């Protein structure tokens, strides 16, 4: 964890330096610019729709790229990033003991956009590659469900249907094509996601999944601002916390560590880090 803290401190210092360099403009305009995006000036006579189209196209390209990145272990199983998730799988396996089973692993983060869902999907994918191992991925982010879209699934039933008793677990589970992985996704947004995740039905669901599968990977909403992640983490055997270089603030990480049960935290994954060879990806 010390390496993660050091990386966050360096990223925080660099971010503040860039913000200080732009301080006069921020003070005048009253908003914080996106320092990583440079927008070229456009001719004034172009119509609104012609000016909007390049942005729409770029947004669509980013969306497709994000979806592919979330399942890189499936599309590029020999890639450097996939190997990093194999290393993470190996570290989790090495922590498992007879008196400390790790059947259910929750992947959490402080805020959205830190790579939590990507980490959960890829960890589940590489874990499913283990011979004779049954793996289930559960999407508990019922407000912004993204797991099924990244894996090309269209659930007709979801987690909320199982928790309300409208469907059985086996009826809502889908198999990922090309992988030995089952997925329990989320469909739509129920009116009471926090209450559903905190219900006795959710506890029984996790217990049933742990009996049926060798490893259950759970994706949660961001931990800050909502009780959902805390509730789900308390039901799992272990927690993997995802932080993002040049994005996660150290104070946010410290707050998450105070909210979650530290005894369940297996370690942290640093997303967006560049190693000595200039390779970008996840580091555990």
Average pLDDT over residues 42-48: 39
Q: Is residue 274 part of a domain?
A: yes
**Whether residue 190 has pLDDT greater than 80:** yes
Q: Is residue 20 part of a domain?
A: no
**Whether residue 279 has pLDDT greater than 60:** no
Q: Is residue 9 part of a domain?
A: no
* Lowest-confidence region among 44-53, 104-113, 183-192, 214-223: 44-53
Domain count, the chain: 1
Q: How much is the pLDDT for 99?
A: 87
CB within 8 A of 50, min separation 6: which ones?
Answer: none
DSSP state of 39: P
Q: Is residue 75 part of a domain?
A: no
132-157 pLDDT, tens digit per residue, is 899 999 999 998 888 998 888 999 99
CA angle 7, 8, 13 (to 5 degrees): 100
Q: How much is the pLDDT for 184?
A: 97
What is the Cα–Cα distance from 275 to 26, expressed in whole angstroms? 33
Q: Is residue 41 part of a domain?
A: no
166-185 pLDDT, tens digit per residue, is 999 999 999 998 788 999 99
- Give 175's Cβ-side CA count (13 Å radius): 6
Range of the domain at 131: 80-283
Q: Is residue 51 part of a domain?
A: no
48-101 pLDDT, tens digit per residue, is 333 333 444 444 444 545 555 555 555 556 677 788 888 999 999 999 998 889
Q: Is residue 56 part of a domain?
A: no
State whether residue 193 is helix, strand or coil: helix
What is the Cα–Cα distance from 52 to 256, expressed in whole angstroms? 39
What is the Cα–Cα distance from 137 to 140, expressed in whole angstroms? 10
What is the Cα–Cα distance from 58 to 204, expressed in whole angstroms? 44
Q: Is residue 221 part of a domain?
A: yes
> Residue 174 is part of a domain; what is its CATH number?
3.40.50.300
* Radius of gyration for the chain, computed over Cα atoms and rounded to the nearest angstrom: 20
């Amino acid at each position: 964890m010390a390496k993660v803290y050091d990386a966050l401190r360096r990223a925080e210092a660099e971010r503040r330096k860039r913000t200080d360099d732009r301080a006069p403009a921020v003070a005048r305009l009253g908003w914080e610019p996106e320092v990583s995006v440079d927008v070229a000036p456009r001719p004034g006579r172009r119509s609104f729709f012609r000016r909007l189209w390049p942005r729409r196209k770029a947004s669509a390209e980013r969306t497709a790229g994000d979806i592919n990145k979330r399942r890189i272990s499936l599309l590029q199983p020999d890639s450097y990033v996939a190997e990093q998730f194999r290393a993470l799988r190996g570290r989790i396996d090495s922590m498992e003991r007879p008196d400390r089973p790790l059947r259910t692993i929750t992947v959490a983060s402080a805020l959205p956009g830190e790579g939590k869902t990507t980490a959960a999907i890829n960890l589940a994918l590489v874990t499913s590659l283990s011979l004779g191992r049954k793996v289930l991925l559960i999407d508990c982010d019922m407000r912004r469900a993204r797991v099924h879209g990244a894996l090309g699934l269209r659930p007709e039933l979801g987690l909320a249907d199982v928790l309300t008793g409208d469907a059985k677990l086996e009826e809502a589970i889908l198999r990922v094509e090309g992988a030995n992985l089952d997925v329990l996704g989320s469909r739509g947004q129920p009116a009471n996601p926090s209450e559903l995740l905190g219900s006795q039905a959710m506890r029984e669901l996790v217990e049933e999944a742990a009996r049926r599968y060798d490893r259950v990977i759970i994706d949660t909403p961001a931990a800050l601002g909502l009780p959902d992640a805390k509730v789900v983490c308390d039901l799992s055997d272990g927690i993997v916390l995802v932080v993002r270089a040049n994005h996660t603030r150290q104070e946010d990480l410290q707050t998450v560590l105070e909210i979650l049960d530290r005894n369940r935290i297996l370690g942290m994954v640093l997303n967006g880090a560049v190693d000595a060879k200039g390779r970008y990806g996840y580091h555990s």
